[in-house]
Structure 1
Amino acid sequence: MDFHCHLDLYPNARDVYAQARDRNEFTWLVTTSPRAFTATSKVLGGSDKVLITPGLHPEIVGTRHAELDMLLEQIRQVRAVGEVGLDGSKRFQTSYDVQRKVFVAVVAQCAALGGRVLSIHSRQAVKDVLAVLDDHPGYGTAVLHWFTGSASELKAAAGQGCWFSIGPAAFNSAAGQALAKKLPRDRVVPESDGPFAQVDGASVMPWSAVQTAQLLAAAWDVTPAEAMHVLESNSRRLISLIHSES
């Protein structure tokens, strides 16, 4: 299982796609722009095991915000959306107002259409992400990918019913390890965030769930088998939510 992967951006994307399809029960391929969604859907094609979704990554909203109307139309045709969200880090501060407008429009569209499952980027912007979600009841289900907020922000997100996708690279820092201990165990699913996420200088691959389970086992003080059971159970529930969206 992999609930957040840029499968189309690996150097050997077709090969990785084929392997993911064979190795994983489910892989969520998030795209970074509406045009990328169209191209990736055409090039890689469809599979019952690989979900390809439209998004507009906050890091490129500054130059690609004109694609918003295309994204809103694409959301009508899918059950899940990603990658979308906000990035409040210094590097992207100049586009933050535009990011907000785009994210608000996306969440509002999801609510208007009866709900979608969203894979959400929230780096240094958790409070604003949660505020937008709170302003749009009925938007669906939020999966906060690679959560890096504070312990209090994690508590607030969990209180709003958010899910969390986590991968091996999240454990590269002491802060990431500390947050992993506090994740709500009934709403955690595995992700890779490959090819961007790296461990020991190598891109994390879409079939890294076993590694994630081992790392979570240490954080939760359970056996790897127990951690994997939790991830598998949660994954099935989230997949059911995706399939149940209108």
Structure 2
Amino acid sequence: MTDASAETSSASGAVSDTETMSNKAAKKRRRREPPPDPAPLPGLVDAHTHLAACGGRDAESVRAICDHAQAVGVDQVVTVADDMVDARWAVRAAEWDDRVYAAVALHPMHAQDLDDETAAELEEMARHPRVVAVGETGLDYYWPGRSDDCAPPEVQHETFRWHIDLAKRVGKPLMIHNREADRDLLDILAAEGAPDTVIMHCFSGDRNVARECVDRGFILSFSGTVSFANAAELRAAAELVPDEQILVETDAPFLTPHPYRGQPNQSYCLPYTARALAAVRGVPEAEMAALLGANARRVYSMPLP
């Protein structure tokens, strides 16, 4: 190789390294940036979000999140608890803003936190008029063994059974978290006797699980995952759900829909997922939004905005 060739090769390598570094920096920067506002799609309800995790920890920030969402057609939201601290935040948020409703429970990862004291407090919160569901509760088989903080399956089972009973006692929907636990979760629901309304939050099963849930009368709620490129089976599930048994949610700040996967999610992003569902089901966007909003208000007994 001549000196000139070596110099050219070295320069090319330097440019390549610089480009690689720039691409990585751009990707990292993009992941911190919120997605742009979608075109408005009126009539929607975010059936499951986490306002506190989105920064909604006081009346002003909750109002700002709701104002942003409402500007693109998301009129109401249900903010959901993972643990006792989140449950208290969720109830407060629902008191701060009329567009916000709450769901309270212990996430299966925190199932070990259930004792006489927390059970009494959760039941009191579940009876609050602004609380519209008991959730999210259920089973998570992904995290045991990966996280020392996650409750083991046998503890999750007992806490899940308690939440099922709570939902029946207070007469409110049961909001389910299910991760890699399809069979055990459905078997426990059958053994305990499911409440009148069961919502499969962020449904992630295949079409066979979807059919079983539909046959049992459960509501399937779809998040941004239904728009992911590798989610063909999930889209097949979304296609077969009857009109009256489908909801849409953000699960914000997680699961931002395509093409913004990995970026911060918030309730204002919901129209992206609603449009993805409309495409899957072959219906006009406005018709899909009206159906999804009406279903949420019926399921959660929420008034029109």
2-structure distance, mates of 1:144, 1:118: 9
With over 3 angstroms needed to count, the CA separation of the structure-2 counterparts of 1:112 and 1:191, relative to structure 1, is same
Alignment of 1:99-178 (within 5 A): 99-113=156-170, 115-137=171-193, 139-172=195-228, 173-174=230-231, 175-178=233-236
Partner of 2:91: 41
Out of 59, 63, 85, the residue aligned to residue 138 of structure 2 is: 85
The farther-off stretch of 215-224 and 10-19 is 10-19
Partner of 1:192: 250
1:217 and 2:268 correspond:
no
User: 2:90, 2:103 within 8 Å by CA — same for their partners in 1?
Assistant: no
With over 3 angstroms needed to count, the CA separation of the structure-2 counterparts of 1:111 and 1:136, relative to structure 1, is farther
1-structure distance, mates of 2:55, 2:102: 18
2-structure distance, mates of 1:2, 1:116: 18
Partner of 1:19: 64
User: 1:72, 1:106 within 8 Å by CA — same for their partners in 2?
Assistant: no
With over 3 angstroms needed to count, the CA separation of the structure-2 counterparts of 1:122 and 1:72, relative to structure 1, is same
User: 2:134, 2:174 within 8 Å by CA — same for their partners in 1?
Assistant: yes
With over 3 angstroms needed to count, the CA separation of the structure-2 counterparts of 1:39 and 1:145, relative to structure 1, is closer
1:75 and 2:75 correspond:
no
2-structure distance, mates of 1:39, 1:222: 37
1:8 and 2:52 correspond:
yes
1-structure distance, mates of 2:161, 2:281: 35
Secondary structure of 1:193's counterpart equals coil
Give, in angstroms, the shift of residue 179 of structure 1. 2.4
Q: Could you list the per-position Cα deviations for residues 49-104 of structure 1 after superposition, in whole angstroms to 9, with x for gaps in the alignment? A: 20122111112324x33444532443344442111111122x22661110010000
Give, in angstroms, the shift of residue 122 of structure 1. 1.2
Q: Could you list the per-position Cα deviations for residues 164-199 of structure 1 after superposition, in whole angstroms to 9, with x for gaps in the alignment? A: 111223321323333222233221112000012233
Give, in angstroms, the shift of residue 44 of structure 1. 7.0
Partner of 1:50: 100
User: 1:20, 1:27 within 8 Å by CA — same for their partners in 2?
Assistant: no
Secondary structure of 1:135's counterpart equals helix
Give the structure-1-normalised TM-score. Answer: 0.84
1-structure distance, mates of 2:194, 2:108: 22
With over 3 angstroms needed to count, the CA separation of the structure-2 counterparts of 1:39 and 1:79, relative to structure 1, is closer
Aligned length: 239
* Percent of paired sites with the same residue: 26
With over 3 angstroms needed to count, the CA separation of the structure-2 counterparts of 1:12 and 1:237, relative to structure 1, is closer
RMSD of aligned Cα (Å): 2.5
User: 1:57, 1:83 within 8 Å by CA — same for their partners in 2?
Assistant: yes
User: 1:146, 1:170 within 8 Å by CA — same for their partners in 2?
Assistant: no
Give the structure-2-normalised TM-score. Answer: 0.70
With over 3 angstroms needed to count, the CA separation of the structure-2 counterparts of 1:159 and 1:192, relative to structure 1, is same
The farther-off stretch of 150-159 and 75-84 is 75-84
Give, in angstroms, the shift of residue 216 of structure 1. 0.9
Give, in angstroms, the shift of residue 112 of structure 1. 3.2
2-structure distance, mates of 1:239, 1:106: 17
User: 2:203, 2:223 within 8 Å by CA — same for their partners in 1?
Assistant: no
Secondary structure of 2:152's counterpart equals helix
With over 3 angstroms needed to count, the CA separation of the structure-2 counterparts of 1:57 and 1:158, relative to structure 1, is same
User: 1:168, 1:208 within 8 Å by CA — same for their partners in 2?
Assistant: no
**Amino acid aligned to 1:126:** D
**Greater C-alpha radius of gyration:** 2
Out of 198, 203, 226, the residue aligned to residue 264 of structure 2 is: 203
